[in-house]
Structure 1
Amino acid sequence: MSEALQRQRRNVTALSSLLILFNFADVSIAKVSLLGTELLVGDPAKLAAFVWLIWVYFLLRYYQYWREEPDKGLSKAFRDRFDRCAKDYTGKDFVQDMHGSPRYYKLSREGWFNWRYSVENVHPVEGNALVGENIPISIIRVCAWAIFSAIHVCINTPRVTEHVLPFPLAILALASTLLV
Structure 2
Amino acid sequence: MILFDFAEVSIAKVSLLGTELLVGRPEILMYTAWLLWLYFLLRYYQYFREIKDMKIKALVKNHLHGLAGNYARKKLKGRDGEDFYSHNMSRISSFSYMCKIEYSNKSMAPSKLSIRISWWRWLPWHLKSWWHIGFNTRRITDYIIPFFVAFATTVKPGISLLTKFLPC
Q: Quick check: TM above 0.5?
A: yes
Distance 1:67 1:113 in 2: 31
Matches within 5 A, 1:44-123: 44-91=26-73, 105-110=88-93, 114-119=96-101
- For residue 164 of structure 1, report the CA deviation from its aligned partner: 0.7
Distance 2:33 2:10 in 1: 13
Distance 2:100 2:113 in 1: 6
Distance 2:10 2:71 in 1: 61
Instruction: Determine if contact 1:118/1:132 at 8 Å carries over to the other structure.
Output: yes
Q: Indicate the structure with greater strand content.
A: 2
Per the alignment, residue 165 of structure 1 pairs with: 145
Percentage of identical aligned residues: 33
Distance 2:158 2:10 in 1: 24
Per the alignment, residue 140 of structure 1 pairs with: 120
CA offsets per residue over residues 81-139 of structure 1, 9 Å max, x none?
A: 111111111119xxxxx8x9xx67232225x7543123579xxxxxxxxx943222121
SS, match of residue 91 in structure 1:
helix
Instruction: Determine if contact 1:85/1:145 at 8 Å carries over to the other structure.
Output: yes
Larger radius of gyration: 2
Distance 2:64 2:139 in 1: 16
Q: Aligned-pair RMSD on alpha carbons?
A: 3.4
**Structure of higher RCO (CA pairs closer than 8 Å, 6+ residues apart):** 1
SS, match of residue 72 in structure 1:
coil
Distance 1:32 1:84 in 2: 63
Gaps of at least 5 residues in structure 1 are 1-28, 93-97, 122-130
SS, match of residue 52 in structure 2:
coil
TM-score normalized by structure 2?
0.64
Instruction: Determine if contact 1:108/1:115 at 8 Å carries over to the other structure.
Output: yes
Structure 1 85/45 Cα, relative in aligned 2: closer, same or farther at 3 Å?
same
- For residue 57 of structure 1, report the CA deviation from its aligned partner: 1.0
Amino acid of the residue matched to residue 70 of structure 1?
K
TM-score normalized by structure 1?
0.60
Structure 1 40/89 Cα, relative in aligned 2: closer, same or farther at 3 Å?
same
